[in-house]
Structure 1
Amino acid sequence: MLRESDIDSLNNHLASLSRDNQRNHENLQGLLNQFKNLLDDYSALKSDYEEVKEGREKYKRQARGQERNPFVLVLVDGDGYIFKEHFLKAGSEGGVKAARELSDSVRELMHSTMGVQADSCRIMVRVYANILGLSKALARAGMVGHEARSISPFTSSFTRAQDLFDFVDSAEKKEGSDFKIRGTQRCLIALPGVNLMLIAVAEMFRLFVDLNQCRHIYFAGCHDTGFTSLLTPYRGSDRMTLIKAASFHRDFEALKLPIRELPSVFMSTPLAITKQTAPVCKHFQKGICKFGVGCNKQHVPSHQQLAKSADSDSSSPKPLWSSPAVVGRSQEVLAATLPTQNLKFEEYIPINKDGDRLDTYCPHPSPEAFAEYHRRAKRHRVCNSFHLSGECGDRGCQYDHSHVSNTIIEVLRYILLQHPCSRAGACRSIKCFWGHICQKPDCKAIKTLQCRFDHRTHTLDLQVAQWVASVENARANDDRDDQSIISSEAFQSQPPSD
């Protein structure tokens, strides 16, 4: 029989074994849980790896796809870059020859700018021009016939001559070619005074500039400073070359981009005519001629008259725009004469002695400011109306209403002031952010293809004579007629009172 001490020893031993067994069970359970967690982590990592691998393979496939069919883009503003005379006079045959010469000339440029990579690239050409207006101008220069759209045989043959060549009619009227840009069309297209051709060229540029297959862009639109803001973010880029021709504007030199010429393709001097017998355009003298360079009549400033001279019937060339050039106002004159935006009396509008509305001075923003604007616009385009007038009446507006820096607002204001207000000098809305005068330094008013503003806006008196209440505040001033008009002197000395 077991002794009492033996029984106690056995009980203690059994209890110890039980504890050890429980501890081993717990340890095993912990190991099993850790192993399960490791398996779960492994499965998650494997899934992530497969996704990354699939994404990498997809990127490789896309990259290989982008390596195929590389090309260069040649963008041409055809209203400012006129093809050589012998091409235009040859009509349909000239269109084919012009396309071939352009292709050969660009191919030579490609080898000098791209090296061996040029051999694998095709050439895509987009020429935008107002066919009707350009036809009239060329007819007056004696290069084509006087029938409507007389350069159409040239442009059609140019388009058919090469697979990727296209001569697009960007007429002043919407029915011309806005179907070409409908996919990227902006609300500006529906507004009066907006240069559709500039928008078309800009949208084509934006479409291809960041596309990997587009290896280089040759830009032929350097007569119009409206394109400088478009190109500023690509200052110094090695993927872009500017093409120089007649009326090349020196503002483009600041972009630090290569500048080349195609002397065998485009005219290097402005158009000229041999004789001008058309009558004076009265609409131009009033500042309302809608035909611009396509007008059949002479554009002579209202303060000048045509004078007959002994050689008036001679065959010596005369400028296409027969009136003497109007020398634009310098940057210094604009800055010294126009009111500044620091005079923040938002209820009043400056007008000159003739009752024409004036704009506050708005200098050209710096390249850094344009870069900041384009970075923001690339994320989400800002709402013009909201940020410049303080409100947006479009409940379904898809543009950005969130806070933006003063720099972006100033760039936005500068850009929109380059587009004429349809009411011109008669506008009295304080919420209007369009331009009422041309603030382009040294602008030549009569070269209508290079400026959106009519002739009259270039000759207005810039001295502020009065500050008048806006239409938005007219009712508030009905019972205070003595405060609805304020002289320039009074305005300078003290702010308008309520």
Structure 2
Amino acid sequence: MLRESDIDSLNNHLASLSEDNERHHENLHGLLNQFKNLLDDYSSLKSDYEEVKEGREKYKRQVRGQVRKQMPKRSAKVTDYIRKGRNPFVLVLVDGDGYMFKEHFLKAGSEGGVKAARELSDSVRELMHSTMGMQADSCQIMVRVYANILGLSKALARAGMVGHEARSISPFTSSFTRAQDLFDLVDSAEKKEGSDFKIREMFRLFVDLNQCRHIYFAGCHDTGFASFLTPYRASDRITLIKAASLHRDFEDLKLPIRELPSVFISNPLAITKQTAPVCKHFQKGICKFGVGCNKQHVPPNQQLAKSADSDSSSPKPLWSSPAVVGRSQEFLAATLPTHSLEFEEYIPINKDGDRLDTYCPHPSPEAFAEYHRRAKRHRVCNSFHLSGECGDMDCQYDHSHVSNTIIEVLRYILLQHPCSRAGACRFIKCFWGHICQTPNCKAIKTFQCRFNHRTHSLDLQVAQWVASVENARADDDRDYQSIISSESFQSQPPSD
């Protein structure tokens, strides 16, 4: 039997549980009351909101009715466009490093900037009427021009269009920006692809914006933009503005192509004066100023062209090449870009849009010997070690680790064979050569070099780094494995 103390303890415990249960019931009842009050308040607010919404919709219907009365000839499409967005505009994106304003604008300085902005506005307005119809009347024009002001000033100074002081086109750019409220000519600085990055981001920002009715894209001098625009091919909201030269890749986009001949020059910039001296440091491959140098960068073994008629007003090229010869190893090493992980997804091109290769010196005899020893033991898979992948499920070649020395030998051997696409190639996994890197190449004179004459005289200065094109394998009717397995490369000495 339970003791008296146990009975008292149980009674106390039961009383405590009863109190806790009653307290819990009271708390639950309080929460339910609060929730009910919140629902009542919500219903009241919803009723007020519906009344306000109904009034707003009624006001919109009245406004749309007034618009229809004022513009009885406008189409339903235009009325819909007015209803959907406020402050509609068109965007004009210009790569100022590739699209040059007409000479008379540039030479006029500040006044020329105002006139160029006015002419651009008028020309774009005409384009808008032809591409957008009645919508053009309600759209403002926003212009963004991006350019390397310092580099452009020096190039124009050499062409005799502006003075030789630093940033000599600043009066033009400043007045251009001030001339129209939504016009900006922005300095993209001297970074590689500085203008390209800004143009891409501006395009991405506005292309899907409802208020942006149309984009006029002036960047067709750079094939890197062609791949960037591929997702928008055949779009009815994008028009390409033709550059001095238009690559076929842009025609394949099936986008409308128009010109602004009264705003931009129609031919590539030619040098009309030869007032600047030749940079001797550049010919030695040690010019530290690069594109910012105020002297003429004439490649070695090439000379200034002599004019047959000194009074002729036609533009003269800065230099000519009467005889195609190879470049020295020192010049190749100092001029060609070096391989860098920072730019491994980008391809270097010169001012003419030709692809350049990163510098690859002739491997040492020791490097070839190491490659030869490894090949005797088990021939390596070149595609795997150069690109990081191999598409052959039954590959018989070695995928195990190899030294960087062997990889450099593989890379060098393939670069001795020209790519069939030449300077137009943009494939990131193309390991063929796009220029001749044989020091002092003499085989070109006897037509025994694999590379044609043009690849021996290309401008090797990197103008910009463009986005590459992905491909599973960039072999063009040839096989990496068969080429690189050739015994003729295993002990080939460098040319003298």
State the TM-score, normalized to the length of structure 1. 0.51
Change (3 A) 1:111 1:452: farther
User: Following the alignment from structure 1 to structure 2, what is the Cα–Cα distance between the partners of residues 379 and 464?
Assistant: 40
Partner SS state of residue 344, structure 1: helix
Q: Deviations over 1:438-496 (max 9, x none)?
A: 99999999999999999999769999999999999999999999999998526799999
- Which of these residues, 309, 326, 329, is aligned with residue 327 of structure 2? 329
How far apart are 1:20 and its partner, in Å? 40
Change (3 A) 1:22 1:315: closer
Change (3 A) 1:408 1:221: farther
Q: Deviations over 1:56-92 (max 9, x none)?
A: 9999999999999111000001111111111111110
Partner SS state of residue 484, structure 1: helix
Change (3 A) 1:385 1:61: farther
Bigger mean CA deviation after superposition, 105-114 or 318-327: 318-327
How far apart are 1:317 and its partner, in Å? 2.2
Is the contact made by 1:436 and 1:457 (CA closer than 8 Å) also made in structure 2?
yes
Is the contact made by 1:74 and 1:217 (CA closer than 8 Å) also made in structure 2?
yes
Task: List gaps (5 residues or longer) in structure 2.
Answer: 69-86
User: Following the alignment from structure 1 to structure 2, what is the Cα–Cα distance between the partners of residues 270 and 348?
Assistant: 25
Bigger mean CA deviation after superposition, 429-438 or 329-338: 329-338
Bigger mean CA deviation after superposition, 249-258 or 316-325: 316-325
Tell me what 1:58 maps to. 58
How far apart are 1:267 and its partner, in Å? 0.7
How far apart are 1:260 and its partner, in Å? 0.4
How far apart are 1:139 and its partner, in Å? 1.5
Is the contact made by 1:223 and 1:247 (CA closer than 8 Å) also made in structure 2?
yes
Change (3 A) 1:56 1:343: same
Change (3 A) 1:403 1:395: same
Bigger mean CA deviation after superposition, 17-26 or 43-52: 17-26
Is the contact made by 1:321 and 1:446 (CA closer than 8 Å) also made in structure 2?
no
Is the contact made by 1:66 and 1:212 (CA closer than 8 Å) also made in structure 2?
no
Is the contact made by 1:232 and 1:370 (CA closer than 8 Å) also made in structure 2?
no
How far apart are 1:277 and its partner, in Å? 3.8
Partner SS state of residue 257, structure 1: coil
State the TM-score, normalized to the length of structure 2. 0.51
- Which of these residues, 194, 207, 212, is aligned with residue 176 of structure 1? 194
Partner SS state of residue 17, structure 2: helix
User: Following the alignment from structure 2 to structure 1, what is the Cα–Cα distance between the partners of residues 53 and 190?
Assistant: 52
Bigger mean CA deviation after superposition, 111-120 or 352-361: 352-361
Is the contact made by 1:78 and 1:128 (CA closer than 8 Å) also made in structure 2?
yes
Identity of aligned residues (%): 92
Q: Deviations over 1:375-420 (max 9, x none)?
A: 9999999999999987999999999999999999999999999999
Is the contact made by 2:145 and 2:184 (CA closer than 8 Å) also made in structure 1?
yes
Change (3 A) 1:134 1:370: farther
Change (3 A) 1:473 1:487: farther
Partner SS state of residue 145, structure 2: strand
Change (3 A) 1:355 1:78: closer
Is the contact made by 1:81 and 1:245 (CA closer than 8 Å) also made in structure 2?
yes
How far apart are 1:276 and its partner, in Å? 1.1
Change (3 A) 1:165 1:13: closer
How far apart are 1:300 and its partner, in Å? 2.5
User: Is residue 304 of structure 1 aligned with residue 302 of structure 2?
Assistant: yes
Is the contact made by 1:421 and 1:435 (CA closer than 8 Å) also made in structure 2?
yes
Change (3 A) 1:117 1:45: same
Q: Deviations over 1:193-251 (max 9, x none)?
A: xxxxxxxxxx1111111111111000111111111111111111100000013133232
Change (3 A) 1:302 1:233: same
How far apart are 1:115 and its partner, in Å? 0.4
User: Following the alignment from structure 2 to structure 1, what is the Cα–Cα distance between the partners of residues 414 and 476?
Assistant: 31
Partner SS state of residue 472, structure 1: coil
Bigger mean CA deviation after superposition, 91-100 or 438-447: 438-447
Bigger mean CA deviation after superposition, 378-387 or 244-253: 378-387
User: Following the alignment from structure 2 to structure 1, what is the Cα–Cα distance between the partners of residues 366 and 400?
Assistant: 21
Bigger mean CA deviation after superposition, 454-463 or 76-85: 454-463
Change (3 A) 1:230 1:57: farther
Q: Deviations over 1:279-306 (max 9, x none)?
A: 3334544666565655432233323233
User: Following the alignment from structure 2 to structure 1, what is the Cα–Cα distance between the partners of residues 43 and 401?
Assistant: 45
Is the contact made by 1:382 and 1:400 (CA closer than 8 Å) also made in structure 2?
yes
How far apart are 1:433 and its partner, in Å? 11
Change (3 A) 1:252 1:387: farther
Change (3 A) 1:473 1:285: farther
How far apart are 1:121 and its partner, in Å? 0.7
Q: Deviations over 1:354-378 (max 9, x none)?
A: 9999979999999999999999999
How far apart are 1:142 and its partner, in Å? 1.7
Task: List gaps (5 residues or longer) in structure 1.
Answer: 182-202
Change (3 A) 1:443 1:116: farther
Change (3 A) 1:463 1:144: closer
Partner SS state of residue 58, structure 2: helix
Is the contact made by 2:99 and 2:244 (CA closer than 8 Å) also made in structure 1?
yes
Bigger mean CA deviation after superposition, 5-14 or 461-470: 5-14
Change (3 A) 1:438 1:384: same
Q: Deviations over 1:97-123 (max 9, x none)?
A: 110110010000000000001111110
Partner SS state of residue 452, structure 1: coil
Q: Deviations over 1:111-153 (max 9, x none)?
A: 0000001111110000011111111111122211111111100
Change (3 A) 1:44 1:206: same
Partner SS state of residue 144, structure 2: strand
Is the contact made by 1:222 and 1:248 (CA closer than 8 Å) also made in structure 2?
yes
Bigger mean CA deviation after superposition, 301-310 or 265-274: 301-310
User: Is residue 70 of structure 1 aligned with residue 68 of structure 2?
Assistant: no
Bigger mean CA deviation after superposition, 93-102 or 304-313: 304-313
Is the contact made by 2:192 and 2:465 (CA closer than 8 Å) also made in structure 1?
no
How far apart are 1:319 and its partner, in Å? 2.7
User: Following the alignment from structure 2 to structure 1, what is the Cα–Cα distance between the partners of residues 240 and 376?
Assistant: 23
Change (3 A) 1:122 1:438: farther
Is the contact made by 1:137 and 1:320 (CA closer than 8 Å) also made in structure 2?
no
Change (3 A) 1:323 1:141: farther
Change (3 A) 1:15 1:367: farther
User: Following the alignment from structure 1 to structure 2, what is the Cα–Cα distance between the partners of residues 55 and 412?
Assistant: 75
User: Following the alignment from structure 1 to structure 2, what is the Cα–Cα distance between the partners of residues 66 and 330?
Assistant: 77
Is the contact made by 1:381 and 1:400 (CA closer than 8 Å) also made in structure 2?
yes
User: Following the alignment from structure 2 to structure 1, what is the Cα–Cα distance between the partners of residues 194 and 464?
Assistant: 42
- What is the correspondence of 1:359-438 to structure 2 with a 5 Å cutoff? none
Tell me what 1:159 maps to. 177
| Residues matched between the structures, number | 477
Bigger mean CA deviation after superposition, 94-103 or 57-66: 57-66
Is the contact made by 2:270 and 2:316 (CA closer than 8 Å) also made in structure 1?
yes
Is the contact made by 1:418 and 1:435 (CA closer than 8 Å) also made in structure 2?
yes
Change (3 A) 1:38 1:71: closer
Bigger mean CA deviation after superposition, 486-495 or 268-277: 486-495
